[in-house]
Amino acid sequence: MDLADDPLGALSAYDGELPVLVTNRAAWEGGEATGDDERLDALAGAAERAAVVAIDVELESLFAERGAAVADHARANDAAVVASVHDFETTPPRAKLRELLEDATDHADVGKLAVTARTRSDVLDLLAVTVNLAKRGRRVATMAMGEVGRYSRAVAPLYGSKIGYAPLDLADATTPGQYDLATLSRLVRELRG
């Protein structure tokens, strides 16, 4: 929503068949939205639209009363809640990855963690935490940003990640290392065999 001129109008006019997951990403977590109250109000309004099946809100926002109220409002409108954490600098140690995802899944229907991989070991740590929490029944979505972690977007579903993010056109990528939707879809399909 933070990248659209009239996001609520676009959601109201949407007549497609695909379900919609929306976010109104805060500037402090890599988005362009400012003014937390207005941003969260718009996200709550989006949850009322029939096409919206889930909202994606920052985990930190869910710790605050207003963010928790938005999550409750979304669920009251039959929209799931995804709690996101982004680290645009590094991949935290494995114990911190687990802690972040556990917090996210404690506060939302799906916990999403996007980190920046500097080494292949970073990706392995992320995938190890992903599979561990998925085996414990936690609904998680994970990905490693950057070229080093690019392949995590295709293999994370094999480890239990429930959501992948890809632009229709690579020119519209929002983070480094994304595949376009057709490529990511093909890779996941081929890997699942």
Catalytic site residues?
86, 112
With CA atoms as reference, report the closest residue to 85 among 106, 178, 38. 106
Provide the β-strand partners of residue 178.
none
Cβ-based neighbours of 91, under 8 Å, separated by 6 or more = 97, 115, 116, 117, 118, 122, 123, 125, 126, 144, 149
Q: How many residues does the chain have?
A: 193
Helix (H) or strand (E) holding 112: strand 110-116
Phi-psi region of 104 (alpha: psi -120 to 50; beta: other; left: phi over 0): alpha
SS3 5: coil
